[in-house]
Chain A
Amino acid sequence: MKLAVVVQRYGADLNGGAELHARYIAERLAKHVEVEVLTTCAEDYISWHNQFEPGVEQINGVPVRRFPVSRERNVEDFGRRSIQIFEHKHSLAAELAWLRSEGPTSPKLINHLRRHNQTYDYCLFFSYRYYHSYHGIRATSQKAILVPTAERDPALGLRIFRDSFRSVRALMYNSPEEQTLIQAVSDNGDVPCVVVGVGSEIKANPEPERFRQTSGIKGPVMIYIGRIDKNKGCGELFDYFQRYSRLSPNLTLVLIGKTVIPIPDHPKIRHLGFVTDQQKFDALAASDLLVMPSYYESLSMVTLEAWALGRPVLANGRCDVLCGQSIRSNAGLYYENYEEFAETLQAILLNRTLQKTLGQNGQAYFGKHYSWPVIERKYLDVLDLLDRETTGPPRKLQPLPGWFGRHRADLPPSRSVVEGLPSGPVLPSPTSASSQTWVGFS
C-alpha cells in the first residue's frame, strides 16, 4: 500500500501545528506502509515564498516531493477578499478567488496528483482550508482522506469546503468538538470518520532541576508554550496574570515561543524565546501547570505533552476543544473570566493532591488515547476499512456550477454561518464514559 501525505509545508524544523502533525503521522505510518510526502517549496506560511528546492529529498527516512508555489500571497488582496466573503454576501467565484489568494497555489502539485492518481492507494490531506487540499481532494476524491484540523473560524462556513467534507473517503478528526462542528456545517454524517488526534515525541527523562538551575527560577511556575500572539489569548493571559500576581507574587509565568505581541515588563514574567525540544520538556517538567489561553484550537499538542509528563492544564473555557478535553480527561481546569482564572489557578497551586491527581489523569488519558500505538492503530484500521469498502459505491463529487451559477452572489457571510453552528464541549455520556465510544467509526 502506498500512501501520499499531502500538506502545505513540510520540514524537520517546521513547528506549525498541522505541519508537525503531518510529519509525525508520515514518519509513524512509514513503519507500516509506503509513504510519500507531497508538499510545496514554501517555508513561510504567510508569504509562501519558495524556500526549498523542488524535487525529492529524504527527511527522517520519508521521501518528500516538493512542488513550487506559482505565486506568493498578496497580503492586502487576501485581506480584502477575506472581508468580502467573511462579512458579506458573496458568490462561489469569490470563494474560489479567495482560496487562490490564500495559497499556497501550486498547480504542479495538483497536476502531479491527477497524473499519478493510480500510483497512490490513498491520499492523506492535512488542513482543509488550503489550496492543496481543496483542489487535491477534487483531483483524487476516490482516494482522499482528510485530516481537517479545523477550528471555529469563518473559513469553515465557506460553501466550497462543504463539498470537500462530503466527498472524501474518510475524515480523521482531532476532537469530538471538531467532528460536531464539521458535521453540522456540511451534513456529512454518512462519511466514515474517526477521532484520532496525534501523539507527540516526548523526550525521555526530562530534567526539571536542569531548567531551574539554568533559568534561576524558584518557586511555583506556570508555563505557556506556543506563539505569543493576541489570537492565542496571550493578551488576556498577561492581564489576568498581572492581576493575580498582586495577590500571589511568588508565581512565575514562563513563556516559550516566538513573540508577536509585546510582553509586559513584569518581574515574574520570563520569556525564554525559542528553545530546543529538550529544554522545552525540561521546562514543562519543572512547571506546576501549563496554561493554554487560546480561544480556538483544533488539538493542542502542547496540552497533550503536558499531560504526558503528568502536568495539569489550565485552559481557556471558551475554547470548546480545550474545555472538552479537560472534562473528558479530568486532567485540567478551565476559566472564562478573571475570577475563575484566579480560583482555578489557586486551586491547582495550593491543593497538591488535586494537582497530582489531575496530572495522573492526564498521563492516563494521554496513554489511552494519544500514545503512538493507539494512533497508528486507528490510522491502519481506517485504511483497512476503506480497503474493504471498495466494493461500495464511491463518493460522488458535486461538480462546480456554471459561470453564471458561480458568479451569483447568493452565499451568506461565512461568519454568520459559523456563528450559527453548535458550540460547547462534547461531554461523554454516562453510558459511554467508560468505553469512550466517541472514538471510532460512526
Chain B
Amino acid sequence: MAEFNIQSDSVDVTKIMGEIRQRIREKRGTDYTEQQIHELANVKLEQFLDPRQVRSDLVEHYRNLDPLDPIPDSGPGTDPIPEAVKFDKETIYVSSRGLMGTLIRLIRRLLNPILRLFFNPDPIIFAMSRQAEINIKTLELLRRQTEQMEQIGKKFAAREALDTLNYEVLNNLVVEMTRLAVDMKNHKMQVESVAGRLDFDERRAKALETVVQNRSSAQDGPSNTAETPGTAPASNRSRRRRRRPRRRVVPSTQTPETTASGRSASPQNAGKKPETADSQSLRAQAITDSAKAKAASTSREPAEPRAAESSPVTPSSQNVVDPGVAPPEARDTDDQ
C-alpha cells in the first residue's frame, strides 16, 4: 500500500506527506470534501443484476413493499415561535416612560450602590444575558432544523417519484429477461434437434449402404449368403418384420431422459436443474418423435439394431411424421 523510496540516511517528511496526500487524491478521483467521502463510504454497493440470480418473484416482492408514510404536515395550527428577548446589563435599569423613563433610569443607576448593599445583581444579569444568548441560538437552531426538515420532505417526495420510475424500469427488465431466457431455451432445443437429424441421416445412409451391399452379395451367390453366419435368409427377415409391431409407444413410466438418449441419466446429468413446463413439453414431443423415427428405422434396418439403440436420437418436430405412414425412405426400402 505504502511504497516510498526511502534512503537509509534521508527522509523528507514533507515529501512523504505530499505523496500520501497525492495518493489519497488519486484514490478519491477528485477532490471530494470530507462530507462527500463519508456519504460515499456509507453508500452500499448495489448488486448488478445477474440473470441467474434474479428471483422469479422479484417484481411481486417489489410491488408488495410498503410505501413510505407521508411526513405529517405541521399545519397552520402550530404555535408561532416566540421572539427572543434581548437582555443586557442595562436592561434592569431601563424604563419605557419616555422622558420620565430617562429620569427613572438615572435615579436607578444612582441608587445602584445602595442596591448592591442588599445583594449582588451581577450574577443575575450575567445569567439572564447568557440565557438570552442561549435563547437566540436555540431559535436559530430551530429555524435551521425546520429548513432541513422541509428539504428532507422535498427529498422524500422526489424519492417517491423516483421509486415509481424504478419500479417500471425493473418490471420491464424482468420481463425482458424472462423472454430472453425462454428464447434461449428454445434455441437450445433447436440445436439439439438439428444435431439429432444429422445423426439420423448419417445412420440411414449407412443402413442403405449395408442393404446395397447385402443385395449385391445375394445376387452374386445366394447359397453363400444363406450360409453366412449372422445373416438371416430373406424369407425369415420378412417374417420377422411382420411379427414386429409397426408402432412403438413410449411407456408412460419411462423417463424422458432415458427414452430419448437410450440410456439412463448419467451422473453428470444428475445435478442439472429441473426443466420448466415448456421445456418439458418440448422435450416430450422430441422424445415421441424420436421413438417414432426409431420404430421406423428399426423396421427398415434390421441389419444394424445395435447402432439404432445406442445412438442418442432426438429428432425435432420437423422430423415428425404420421405414425401410420412410413417415411419415404422406409417405403423405398420396403419396396426394395
Binding site for B on A (CB under 8 A): 80, 83-84, 326-327, 330-334, 337, 339-340, 343-344, 346-347, 350-351, 353-354, 356-358, 361, 427
- Contact call B6/A80, Cβ cutoff below 8 A: no
Determine the chain A residues whose CB is within 8 A of the CB of B12 once the complex forms. Answer: 330
- Contact call A340/B4, Cβ cutoff below 8 A: no
- Contact call B16/A354, Cβ cutoff below 8 A: yes
- Contact call A353/B130, Cβ cutoff below 8 A: no
Determine the chain A residues whose CB is within 8 A of the CB of B4 once the complex forms. Answer: 347, 351, 354
Tell me which of A80, A333, A346, A361 contacts B1 (CB under 8 A).
A346
Given contacts A350-B2, A351-B6, A354-B6, contact A340 B21 (CB under 8 A): yes
- Contact call B8/A340, Cβ cutoff below 8 A: no
- Contact call A339/B13, Cβ cutoff below 8 A: no
Interface size band for B: 20 to 34
Binding site for A on B (CB under 8 A): 1-4, 6-14, 16-17, 20-21, 23-24, 27, 34, 37, 123, 126, 130
- Contact call B37/A361, Cβ cutoff below 8 A: no
- Contact call B13/A343, Cβ cutoff below 8 A: no
- Contact call A343/B6, Cβ cutoff below 8 A: no
In the bound complex, how far is the Cα of B27 from the Cα of A330, in angstroms?
26
Residue of A nearest to B9 (CB): A357
Interface centre among A83, A346, A357 (most CB of B within 10 A): A357
Q: What are 5 A-B contacts defined by CB distance under 8 Å?
A: A330-B12, A333-B16, A333-B17, A333-B20, A358-B13
In the bound complex, how far is the Cα of B23 from the Cα of A337, in angstroms?
14
- Contact call B17/A334, Cβ cutoff below 8 A: yes
Determine the chain A residues whose CB is within 8 A of the CB of B14 once the complex forms. Answer: 327, 427
| Distance (whole angstroms) from the CB of A250 to the closest CB of chain B | 14
Determine the chain B residues whose CB is within 8 A of the CB of A346 once the complex forms. Answer: 1-2
- Contact call B126/A80, Cβ cutoff below 8 A: yes
Tell me which of A84, A331, A351, A356 contacts B2 (CB under 8 A).
A351
In the bound complex, how far is the Cα of B166 from the Cα of A44, in angstroms?
65
In the bound complex, how far is the Cα of B126 from the Cα of A356, in angstroms?
56
Tell me which of A80, A330, A339, A427 contacts B11 (CB under 8 A).
A330
| Distance (whole angstroms) from the CB of B206 to the closest CB of chain A | 68
In the bound complex, how far is the Cα of B6 from the Cα of A350, in angstroms?
13
Determine the chain B residues whose CB is within 8 A of the CB of A357 once the complex forms. Answer: 6-11
| Distance (whole angstroms) from the CB of B60 to the closest CB of chain A | 37
Given contacts A326-B13, A327-B13, A333-B17, contact A347 B2 (CB under 8 A): yes
Residue of A nearest to B89 (CB): A409
- Contact call A344/B8, Cβ cutoff below 8 A: no
- Contact call B3/A351, Cβ cutoff below 8 A: yes
Sorted nearest first, the 8 A-B pairs with minimum C-beta distance are A347-B2, A353-B6, A357-B11, A343-B20, A339-B24, A330-B13, A354-B6, A330-B11
Residue of B nearest to A83 (CB): B130
In the bound complex, how far is the Cα of B1 from the Cα of A358, in angstroms?
18
In the bound complex, how far is the Cα of B13 from the Cα of A340, in angstroms?
13
Beyond the given pairs A330-B11, A353-B8, 5 more chain A to chain B contacts, judged by CB atoms under 8 angstroms and listed by A's residue number, are A330-B12, A343-B23, A351-B3, A353-B6, A354-B16
- Contact call B24/A332, Cβ cutoff below 8 A: no
- Contact call B2/A340, Cβ cutoff below 8 A: no
| Distance (whole angstroms) from the CB of A72 to the closest CB of chain B | 19
Given contacts A357-B8, A357-B11, A358-B11, contact A340 B3 (CB under 8 A): no
Determine the chain B residues whose CB is within 8 A of the CB of A351 once the complex forms. Answer: 2-4, 6
| Distance (whole angstroms) from the CB of B144 to the closest CB of chain A | 21
Interface centre among B12, B14, B17, B20 (most CB of A within 10 A): B17
Residue of B nearest to A328 (CB): B13
Determine the chain A residues whose CB is within 8 A of the CB of B2 once the complex forms. Answer: 343, 346-347, 350-351, 354
In the bound complex, how far is the Cα of B279 from the Cα of A86, in angstroms?
83
Tell me which of A337, A354, A361 contacts B34 (CB under 8 A).
A337
| Distance (whole angstroms) from the CB of B244 to the closest CB of chain A | 76
Tell me which of B10, B20, B37, B123 contacts A344 (CB under 8 A).
B20
Determine the chain B residues whose CB is within 8 A of the CB of A332 once the complex forms. Answer: 13
Given contacts A333-B16, A339-B37, contact A354 B21 (CB under 8 A): no
In the bound complex, how far is the Cα of B21 from the Cα of A343, in angstroms?
9
In the bound complex, how far is the Cα of B207 from the Cα of A67, in angstroms?
126
In the bound complex, how far is the Cα of B127 from the Cα of A80, in angstroms?
9
In the bound complex, how far is the Cα of B27 from the Cα of A346, in angstroms?
15
Interface centre among B7, B11, B12, B16 (most CB of A within 10 A): B11
Residue of A nearest to B25 (CB): A339
In the bound complex, how far is the Cα of B15 from the Cα of A330, in angstroms?
10
In the bound complex, how far is the Cα of B7 from the Cα of A137, in angstroms?
50
- Contact call A347/B24, Cβ cutoff below 8 A: no
| Distance (whole angstroms) from the CB of B71 to the closest CB of chain A | 32
Determine the chain A residues whose CB is within 8 A of the CB of B130 once the complex forms. Answer: 83
| Distance (whole angstroms) from the CB of A76 to the closest CB of chain B | 10
- Contact call A347/B20, Cβ cutoff below 8 A: yes
| Distance (whole angstroms) from the CB of A145 to the closest CB of chain B | 33
